[in-house]
Amino acid sequence: MHVVMIEPRFPTNQKLFVKALAEIGATVTAIGEGSKESLDDDLKRWLVHYEQVKNVCDEQAVLQAVRFIQGRAHVDRLEAVVEAHIMPTARVREAAGIPGTSVRTAFLCRDKPAMKEVLREGGVACAQSTGASSIDEVRAFAERVGYPIILKPRDGAGAAGAVRADSDGEVEQALGSLGLSGKASVAVEEFMEGHEGFYDSLTVGGEGVHGFISHYYPNVLDAMRTRWISPQFISTNRVDSVPAYEEVKQLGARVVKLLGIDTSATHMEWFFGPKGLKFSEIGCRPPGVRAWDLHNVGNEMDLYREWATLLCTGRPGQFPSRRYSAGIIALRPDRDGRIAGYEGMDAIGRAFGPNVIDWHLPPEGSPTQPVEAGYMANAWIRMKHENFDDLRRILDTVGETVKVRAC
């Protein structure tokens, strides 16, 4: 099978998709923004051909590159795994007559109001939502559903750009923080009370083959706005042993069908609270923040290779062991500035050394990154344990013990 990958160099785990395809015997071509000389030795070895374009979101440029490749060899798949690349790649794929995620599916997985409209019509429980292009429309929605509400870009990924408004007076400020000021359409949603998690899957022909469930502590909106919190998310190994998770799996399967997701990785956010299980949003791509690394450790498998195997053969090659729960804790600097040092790491190493997967501690003098930059923007530690509850307690202890000092 001949697979064309969009942008093999960035982010850094992109090359793992190329590696997996090459290792299972696929012919791999790539289209990216850097020069051929900028490819590292591994990518030069794994790729049979590379085409450079100025911008991989420029559909005409990518289509021209694809047609050049098609003029020399048949292309079986054109794949993108980064959120911003999904829609332009779908349009190119359709124009070039290559199987894969359709423009309709890509659009529905990007445009939140349209996504939720289709799912509500299909009987999926979602937060109330709308698209709004004026302050008056936002306030009218809030009058109908009540405050607080959440405003975000229609095509934002996860909590990126999401802003909470608790009153009419905060709506204009929230729109301004999005850089829109009521002049462009935004997604407006009912605030969902309850616990937040995500469900990742690999599907073939619209049927789920593998599924992984993770929990956020605390919910993402709080985690990305509050410096003193050391947020975590944990990939649980109890996916098949907790009856309540069956509802999450069934929700994921229903959403995949309604949105027409075919053979793809998916990342679905959900809430569970006083109103029961509610769908939040989904992407037809792998999760961010290297969540697959945690699924891999916890399940003793290689999801990059499994993704490649399913894409090329339609049949699974591995099965999850569910041996470990695996999680990450983000460690925020105590202020903006430059890293001055760390406290507590030796104690954590002595107490929980066997549970550590890996860590990242920016060296002293490194500039800090803002809290909203995400879980891996500053220091972090990833850990595992055979018992989910024990891992939660360990990660809590890490958050209480390790201090990141800045000056």
pLDDT at residue 158, rounded to an integer = 55
Mean pLDDT of the chain: 94
Higher per-residue confidence, 372 vs 255: 255
pLDDT at 171 over 90: no
pTM of the model: 0.92
What are φ and ψ of residue 181, in 5° steps? 50, 35
**Can you tell me the mean pLDDT for 356-362?**
98
All structural domains of the chain, each given as residue ranges with its CATH number in brackets, are 2-100 (3.40.50.20), 128-190 (3.30.1490.20), 195-406 (3.30.470.20)
What is the distance between the alpha carbons of residues 163 and 179, in angstroms, rounded to a whole number? 12
Q: Measured between alpha carbons, how far is residue 139 from residues 144, 147, 156, 182, 184 in Å?
A: 9, 10, 21, 11, 15
> Tens digit of pLDDT for each residue in 51-60?
999 999 999 9
Whole-angstrom Cα Rg for the chain = 22
Give 20's pLDDT tier (boundaries 50, 70, 90).
Answer: very high
pLDDT at 182 over 90: no
> Tens digit of pLDDT for each residue in 283-325?
999 999 999 999 999 999 999 999 999 999 999 999 999 999 9
pLDDT at 183 over 70: no
pLDDT at residue 156, rounded to an integer = 66
Q: Which helix (H) or strand (E) holds 92?
A: helix 83-96
What is the distance between the alpha carbons of residues 92 and 31, in angstroms, rounded to a whole number? 12
pLDDT at residue 1, rounded to an integer = 97
Give 180's pLDDT tier (boundaries 50, 70, 90).
Answer: low
pLDDT at residue 160, rounded to an integer = 61
Cβ–Cβ under 8 Å, residues 265 and 288:
no
> Tens digit of pLDDT for each residue in 84-137?
999 999 999 999 999 999 999 999 999 988 999 999 999 999 988 888 888 888
Give 185's pLDDT tier (boundaries 50, 70, 90).
Answer: confident
Least confident of 8-17, 169-178, 199-208, 287-296: 169-178
pLDDT at residue 184, rounded to an integer = 66
What are φ and ψ of residue 56, in 5° steps? -75, -5
* Nearby residues of 202 by Cβ (< 8 Å), 6 or more positions away: 208, 209, 210, 264, 265, 266, 303, 306, 307, 310
What are φ and ψ of residue 105, in 5° steps? -65, -45
